[in-house]
Amino acid sequence: MRAIVLEAAGSPLLAIDHPEPEAGRGQVVVRVHACGVCRTDLHIVDGELTEPKLPLVLGHQVVGEVVETGEGAERFAVGERVGIPWLGWTCGECRYCRSGRENLCTRARFTGYDFDGGYAELAVADERYCLPLAAAGSDTETAPLLCAGLIGYRALRLCGDPDRLGLYGFGASAHIVCQVAVHQGRQVFAVTRPGDEATQAFARDLGAVWAGGSEEVPEPLDAAIIFAPAGELVPQALAALAPGGVVVCAGIHMSDIPGFPYADLWGERQIRSVANLTRRDGAEFLTLAPRVPVRTTVSEYALERAGEALADLRAGRLTGSAVLRVRE
């Protein structure tokens, strides 16, 4: 099968003829139709996430159809449409798993990091961690929901019930979360690179009441979600918070956070991070998304152009999400 493989951090992705996976016990083989390109993939390629399986097929926003089921796999039928997200396995035994916090499992394993992912024609996954997908929505438009949407949704939940919500970095996750927050009746303030008029206009088109640079936020925020992997945004977002507000860092990797005055934290302000996702997050968000309804904006790339998609993500040349179109 065709696959795009990372052999070492910092090396170019290679298009190869890869052995087809087989379904083990409790697993399904999925014919990949589309796979979203995530900033986490970029962190893996750049060596900022340091323990991937190598060689590795990246990709954890996988949309496809089941073509084979392993022994004991009865949740999905052959031909059923499913999604494969980042969370690929948990132990079910640790105190986090037993308390509904499987996203913090001490032995968790992840798609496109510990297991081969969706930058390929076929992917194998534990059926318990796959998500059933409704027939509605194209494959490329659905793919970003499986990480950009899920992580954004979890980050939004951790904000509490804010009236004024700041989104720092308006890319794949933020353009989805903006729609959900507006649907919930919140005021969204989109914080972008200074002078990025195209992204600011995009945010306003999706319902943001304001869009501009981080030094220009016009009102105190009740909550802020930081999607950009830039630690310097944390003190800036903190300084923009009203008392009792929260800054949620939604990325899996971020540059170092510089020092800031205690006065900016005082007043029961909080800083917290999001780690991974749970299957409950997936079920809740995929039920909510069509009610909003969430409309993803995507740039499509052929599978062999995965390296180009990552380069465009790194350079900030994308509006919305990048998605690999694997099945023509």
C-alpha span between 232 and 234 (Å, rounded): 5
Question: What is the average per-residue pLDDT within 106-110?
Answer: 97
Candidates 135, 156, 165; CA nearest to 65 is: 135
Are 41 and 62 in contact by the 8 Å Cβ rule? The answer is: no
The structure tokens listed for 298 are 């995507």
Would you state the pLDDT for residue 129? 98
Please give the pLDDT value at position 135. Answer: 81
pLDDT per residue as tens digits for the range 273-311: 999 999 999 999 999 999 999 999 999 999 999 999 999
pLDDT tops 80 at residue 59: yes
Q: What is the largest CA-CA distance in the chain?
A: 59
- Using the predicted structure, report yes or no on whether residue 241 has a pLDDT greater than 80: yes
Q: Are 23 and 124 in contact (CB under 8 A)?
A: yes
The answer to whether the bond into 55 is cis (omega within 30° of 0) is yes
For residue 328, pLDDT beyond 80: no
Instruction: Kindly state the average pLDDT of the residues 68-76.
Output: 97
Complete domains list, the chain, with CATH: 2-145+277-325 (3.90.180.10), 150-273 (3.40.50.720)
The answer to whether residue 45 scores a pLDDT higher than 80 is yes
Q: Is pLDDT of 66 > 80?
A: yes
Q: What pLDDT shows up at residue 156?
A: 98
Q: How far apart are CA 189 and CA 77, in angstroms?
A: 43
Contact 35, 143 (CB under 8 A): yes
Which residues lie below 8 Å from residue 291, measured CB to CB, with a gap of 6+? 183
Q: Tell me the pLDDT of the chain averaged across its residues.
A: 97
Binned at pLDDT 50, 70 and 90, residue 194 comes out as confident
Please report which residue ranges of the chain form alpha helices under DSSP H.
39-45, 95-98, 139-142, 148-158, 172-183, 197-205, 233-239, 262-265, 279-288, 306-315
Q: How far is CA 160 from the centre of its chain?
A: 20
Q: Which pLDDT score is estimated for 122?
A: 98
Q: How far apart are CA 186 and CA 191, in angstroms?
A: 16
Give per-residue pLDDT as tens, 169-193. Answer: 999 999 999 999 999 999 999 999 9
pLDDT of residue 188: 98
Report the percentage of the chain scoring pLDDT > 70. Answer: 100
245 HSE (CA, 13 A, CB side):
23
pLDDT range class, residue 215, cuts 50, 70, 90 = confident
pLDDT surpassing 90 at residue 195 = no
219 CB neighbour count, 10 Å cutoff:
14
Q: Output the pLDDT for position 24.
A: 97
pLDDT of residue 234: 97
**Can you give the C-alpha Rg of the chain in angstroms?**
19
pTM reported for the whole predicted model: 0.96
pLDDT at 174: 98
- 259 pLDDT tier (thresholds 50, 70, 90): very high
pLDDT recorded at residue 197: 95
Distance of alpha carbon 56 from alpha carbon 13, whole angstroms: 10
Residue 209 confidence (pLDDT): 98
pLDDT value at 89 more than 90: yes
The better pLDDT of the pair 158, 136 is held by 158
pLDDT at 136: 79
Three-state DSSP at 114 gives: coil
